[in-house]
């Protein structure tokens, strides 16, 4: 076997050999570090590593790669576990929500049934009435329906129960409006009777727990008959007095001094009546609305003044029942005459 010639080792030969092995141009320490030994000192040469060291570094890099893959797998498993936990919690929430919704719907149905039973009323097997049905014409129907709405807040959400409740409530409101209107009419009638008869208001009726006026029919009838009798007597008196004055005027027997004296008395009564009206108006000052009793008192005060004015006009023959009577009397121009209870100025 022929011996290889011994070559002289110098930096130039080493560099050429490395280029030949790598198949690339050598450019210093930019080659992959694991293929070369680290320089021991500044300016030192870089030589290829031994096969053992290169194998060990390759094995270490493979180990690192496996470790990274293992860590990635662990992280992936952790992410998957967290995703599964979130999915399980979401499923639990959905189940709980569905359970709550089902329980709520069951409560709506149960309360709706209880509402309908309350409206219909309940009767025991022996025929005893446990609770009477709610009818729109009942005086307490609105209050009983309001109580149902308070006690069955879930049941009212049921469409069938809500439709039944709304219709019944609207019907009850119609009956309540009629009762309120009737109450006001009876109240005004009682106030009028109290003012005209001078008897206490309580004699003609009272208010129930809902503020509705309940007339006492016996007192109302008696008061109406008394007013009718009084008005009839007053009308008869006015007729007799008028006929008397007409006769006196015709006969010329009534002295003018008597008329003046009577006018003076009536004017005094008018002044006092106007003072009473002024005080009454002052007591109502600042109020936006008046009660039925207050309105009746105000009207009575005004009627008193009007009655006195008519009485004063009648002294001079200036009060008439009809327009035909006024035309036949031919009152003086510019005078104030009364036809019925309405004042008119003669042109």
Q: What is the mean pLDDT of the chain?
A: 79
Contact 155, 114 (CB under 8 A): yes
User: CA–CA separation, 220 vs 32, rounded Å?
Assistant: 123
Contact 223, 250 (CB under 8 A): no
Cβ neighbors of 249 (< 8 A, separation 6 or more) are 317
pLDDT at 221 over 50: yes
pLDDT at 7 over 60: no
Residue count of the chain: 347
Contact 213, 184 (CB under 8 A): yes
Q: What is the pLDDT of residues 115-131, one digit of tens each?
A: 888 888 876 666 676 67
Tokens 């010639």, located at residue: 5
Contact 111, 155 (CB under 8 A): yes
pLDDT at 52 over 90: no
Output 212 or 31, whichever has higher pLDDT: 212
For the chain, percent of residues with pLDDT exceeding 90: 4
User: CA–CA separation, 146 vs 135, rounded Å?
Assistant: 13
pLDDT at 80 over 80: yes
pLDDT at 254 over 90: no
Give the pLDDT band of residue 218 (cuts 50, 70, 90): confident
Give the pLDDT band of residue 246 (cuts 50, 70, 90): low
Considering 58-67, 134-143, 182-191, the range whose residues carry the highest mean pLDDT is 134-143
User: CA–CA separation, 142 vs 139, rounded Å?
Assistant: 8
Q: What integer pLDDT is reported at residue 171 of this predicted model?
A: 92
Give the pLDDT band of residue 139 (cuts 50, 70, 90): confident
Output 98 or 248, whichever has higher pLDDT: 98
Give the pLDDT band of residue 1 (cuts 50, 70, 90): very low
Q: What integer pLDDT is reported at residue 174 of this predicted model?
A: 92
Q: What integer pLDDT is reported at residue 265 of this predicted model?
A: 86
Give the pLDDT band of residue 249 (cuts 50, 70, 90): low
User: CA–CA separation, 129 vs 137, rounded Å?
Assistant: 19
Q: What integer pLDDT is reported at residue 22 of this predicted model?
A: 46
pLDDT at 243 over 70: yes
Q: Name which of 3-7, 152-156, 298-302 the model is least confident about.
A: 3-7
Contact 344, 336 (CB under 8 A): yes
For the chain, percent of residues with pLDDT exceeding 70: 80
* H and E: helices and strands count for the chain: 8, 7
Q: What integer pLDDT is reported at residue 168 of this predicted model?
A: 92
Output 137 or 42, whichever has higher pLDDT: 137
Tokens for 75, please give them: 């992280």
Closest to 215 in 3D by CA, of 242, 252, 182: 182
Task: Tell me the residue ranges of DSSP E strands in the chain.
Answer: 122-123, 129-131, 205-207, 213-215, 319-320, 336-339, 342-345
Q: What integer pLDDT is reported at residue 294 of this predicted model?
A: 75
Q: Name which of 17-31, 192-206, 284-298 the model is least confident about.
A: 17-31
Whether the full predicted model's pTM is greater than 0.85, yes or no, is no
Q: What integer pLDDT is reported at residue 247 of this predicted model?
A: 66
Q: What integer pLDDT is reported at residue 188 of this predicted model?
A: 84
pLDDT at 5 over 80: no
Mean pLDDT of 52-60: 81
């Amino acid at each position: 076997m022929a011996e290889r010639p011994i070559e002289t080792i110098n930096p130039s030969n080493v560099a050429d050999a490395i280029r030949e092995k790598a198949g690339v141009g050598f450019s210093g320490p930019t080659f992959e570090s694991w293929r070369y030994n680290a320089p021991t000192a500044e300016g030192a040469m870089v030589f290829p590593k031994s096969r053992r060291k290169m194998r060990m570094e390759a094995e270490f890099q493979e180990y690192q790669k496996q470790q990274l893959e293992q860590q990635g797998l662990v992280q992936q498993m952790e992410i998957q576990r967290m995703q599964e936990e979130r999915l399980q919690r979401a499923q639990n929430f959905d189940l709980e929500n569905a359970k709550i919704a089902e329980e709520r719907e069951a409560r709506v149905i149960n309360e709706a049934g209880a509402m309908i039973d309350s409206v219909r009323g309940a009767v025991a097997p022996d025929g005893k009435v446990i609770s009477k049905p709610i009818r729109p014409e009942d005086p307490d129907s609105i209050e009983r329906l309001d109580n149902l709405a308070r006690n069955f807040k879930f049941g009212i959400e049921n469409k069938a129960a809500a439709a039944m409740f709304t219709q019944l409530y609207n019907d009850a409101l119609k009956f309540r409006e009629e009762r309120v209107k009737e109450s006001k009419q009876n109240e005004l009638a009682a106030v009028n009777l109290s003012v005209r008869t001078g008897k206490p208001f309580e004699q003609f009726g009272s208010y129930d727990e809902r503020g509705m006026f309940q007339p006492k029919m016996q007192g109302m009838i008696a008061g109406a008959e008394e007013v009718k009798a009084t008005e009839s007597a007053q009308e008869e008196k006015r007729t007799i007095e008028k006929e008397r004055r007409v006769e006196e005027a015709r006969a010329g027997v009534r002295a003018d001094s008597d008329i003046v004296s009577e006018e003076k008395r009536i004017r005094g009564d008018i002044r006092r009546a106007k003072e009473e009206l002024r005080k009454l108006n002052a007591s109502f000052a600042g109020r936006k609305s008046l009660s039925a009793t207050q309105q009746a008192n105000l009207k009575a005060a005004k009627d008193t003044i009007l009655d006195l004015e008519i009485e004063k006009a009648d002294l001079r023959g200036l009060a008439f029942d009809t327009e035909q009577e006024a035309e036949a009397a031919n009152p003086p121009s510019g005078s104030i005459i009364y036809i019925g209870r309405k004042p008119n100025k003669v042109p």
